Amino acid sequence: MDNQSISMLHEKLKQEKGIHTDFKNDMTYGEYLGLDQLLSSQKLLSNHHDEMLFIIIHQVSELWMKLILHELKSAITAIQQNKMQPAFKMLSRVTKIQTQIIQAWDVLSTMTPSEYLEFRDKLGKASGFQSYQYRLIEFALGYKTKHILKIYEKDKALSQVLDEAFKAPSIYDVSIQALAREGLPINKELLTRDFSITYGGEESVAAAWKEVYLNVDKYWDLYQLGEKLVDIEDWLQQWRFRHMKTVERIIGFKIGTGGSSGVNYLKKVLDHRFFPELWDLRTNL
């Protein structure tokens, strides 16, 4: 921008007489957002330039995951209350958030293996594998892994939150209940099953979803619900894939700082399906 353009911009700003500049007794933008705390939360353990990138990428991802959980919890409640339209809005928002998290891997992948090695040892045993919000997302989607809970025993309050989420119905469990509410013949044992066990598929659910997709006009809300769930799983798997490829690009097949097998572990979880009948019906329709 040249000097003339800058002068014109300053003149235009002067004409905005309603702009508030005195905040002695009013809350500022920074105070509302808690920016002092937020922007001072990057505690570098090394002097390496790229550690700031590493910390911020993961902190931003955790903030997005917090919003995903906020939307998923409300969507589960809405579906239980048969309030489908609000649930659809929330689930659509989740997929948009997922695109942001996926793109974060592109930024992190600008860090080379040599650069990461300069500060990797400073992480100790800390690892993204320990992200409790990611585990809560998996629980909300129905993937329940009991051995994971041991990681969080250090924090009693957090451990209780995870235990409750572990035992609670997932979004797919309440979707199956929604199928039953519409009169579709669902195995009654599924409606009161132990929700701490990862759901693996069932014939009556497969038949119900097939009926929905063959009679879209009759079951329009359930049809939309099915597609919203497919969107979420699709984007989650893309996030998992980008995670795996970014890790492979930066550390190859080294063991993760948290003790996992790294890339090999990330490849294994790609095979898990959250909503199996919704994917199988693509073949069976």
Token reading at 184? 């579709």
Q: Where are the alpha helices (DSSP H) in the chain?
A: 3-15, 29-33, 35-38, 51-80, 84-108, 113-117, 132-141, 156-167, 171-181, 188-191, 203-214, 220-251, 263-269, 276-284
Report whether 58 belongs to an annotated binding site. yes
Q: What is the pLDDT of residue 13?
A: 62
CATH topology of domain 49-283: Methane Monooxygenase Hydroxylase; Chain G, domain 1 (1.20.58)
Are 114 and 45 in contact, with CB atoms under 8 Å apart? no
Closest CA to 66 of 156, 136, 138: 136
Ranges of each domain in the chain: 49-283
Q: What is the pLDDT of residue 1?
A: 62
Token reading at 178? 């929604």
Report whether 101 belongs to an annotated binding site. no
Are 78 and 94 in contact, with CB atoms under 8 Å apart? no
Report whether 54 belongs to an annotated binding site. yes
Q: What is the pLDDT of residue 264?
A: 87
Are 62 and 80 in contact, with CB atoms under 8 Å apart? no
Q: What is the pLDDT of residue 239?
A: 93
**Residues in the chain, pLDDT under 50:** none
Q: What is the pLDDT of residue 15?
A: 72
pTM (2 decimals)?
0.91
Token reading at 77? 């409640």
Residue type, 196: S
Report whether 257 belongs to an annotated binding site. yes
Report whether 116 belongs to an annotated binding site. yes
Please report the DSSP string for 38-107 in residue order.
HTT----SSS-TTHHHHHHHHHHHHHHHHHHHHHHHHHHHHHHTT-HHHHHHHHHHHHHHHHHHHHHHHH
